[in-house]
Amino acid sequence: MCFGWVPILNPGNVLDYFSERSNPFYDRTCNNEVVKMQRLTLEHLNQMVGVEYILLHAQEPILYIIRKQQRQSPTQVIPMADYYIIAGVVYQAPDLGTVISSRVLSAVHGIQSAFDEAMSYCRYHPSKGYWWHFKDQEEREKSKPKSKKKEEPSSVFQRHRVDTLLLDLRSKFPPTFYQPKPGEKPIPVEVKKEPEPPAEAVKQEEREPATKSSAPAPPSKPPPEKRARLQ
């Protein structure tokens, strides 16, 4: 476009500026070219049928909006496209469908990017499950002073196993002393002894197996007598 028009642009000559050959949006077969060739006024466009350009809105000296439309009758037109001129530069205005599609695509792209970034912070381990691991967390952990963890002498499994072994040993070998409170003197534990059987009962038990062993054995049968055979 020729920038020599910019200082003198006004609603009366903006259509002539729009019809310059350097403008790729201008259709040379429109009714405006016919009116220009016949040296008629723009009012004759209402009596024609076909593609035409009109000045839709003007905000001097910087903004002008031009509409391309299909005229079917003096009272009926179909809008085809809108163009706006800002500081001497012609732009094509997008239609409503293109605007909505662009906004939806931008929103979907932003949501997808957010999900991708969130998934990059997700971690999983079979024993721990899912958790979040952020970059800020790494910086905080690095900045924190490292405290030495107290090493446990044994694991939970080992402690439980040792407890069962100690209970088993205690039941087999009960303690002979116990201490009621720390610092006090140990007290011997009284072990209940089973009463010993009297000596007479022991002697009687010894006699019984002796009498059983001295009892006579039952008499055995004599062998059968041999008889002489009769000839």
DSSP letter for 11, please. T
Predicted pLDDT at 104: 94
Task: Give mean pLDDT, residues 179-191.
Answer: 71
Q: How far apart are CA 82 and CA 25, in angstroms?
A: 10
Q: Where are the alpha helices (DSSP H) in 70-191?
A: 96-120, 135-143, 156-172
* Predicted confidence (pLDDT) per residue in 1-44, tens digit: 556 667 778 888 888 888 888 888 988 889 988 888 888 888 88
CB 2 within 8 A of CB 14: no
Long-range contacts from 3-12, C-beta under 8 angstroms, 24+ separation: 3/88, 5/88, 6/87, 6/88, 9/61, 9/64, 9/85, 9/88, 10/60, 10/61, 11/55, 11/58, 11/60, 11/64
* Predicted confidence (pLDDT) per residue in 130-155, tens digit: 888 877 766 666 666 666 666 666 66
Predicted pLDDT at 53: 93
Predicted pLDDT at 148: 63
Tokens of 141: 């952990």
Predicted pLDDT at 158: 62
* Predicted confidence (pLDDT) per residue in 65-124, tens digit: 999 999 998 889 999 999 999 888 889 988 888 889 999 999 999 999 998 888 888 888
Q: Domain segments of the chain: what residues? A: 13-94, 97-138
Predicted pLDDT at 105: 93
Q: How far apart are CA 124 and CA 132, in angstroms?
A: 9
The separation between CA 46 and the C-alpha centre of its own chain, rounded to angstroms, equals 63
Q: Does a cis peptide bond (omega within 30 degrees of 0) precede residue 61?
A: yes
Q: How far apart are CA 70 and CA 83, in angstroms?
A: 15
State whether CATH 3.40.50.620 applies to domain 13-94.
no
Task: Give mean pLDDT, residues 164-178.
Answer: 78
Predicted pLDDT at 220: 59
Predicted pLDDT at 38: 87
pTM of this structure: 0.45
User: 13 or 230: which carries more pLDDT confidence?
Assistant: 13
Phi and psi angles of residue 36, each rounded to the nearest 5 degrees, phi first: -65, -40
Predicted pLDDT at 230: 55
Predicted pLDDT at 20: 86
Predicted pLDDT at 106: 93
* Predicted confidence (pLDDT) per residue in 193-227, tens digit: 555 556 565 556 656 555 555 555 555 556 666 56
Predicted pLDDT at 221: 59
Q: Examine the pLDDT at 186 and tell me if it is beyond 60.
A: yes
User: 34 or 187: which carries more pLDDT confidence?
Assistant: 34
Predicted pLDDT at 83: 93
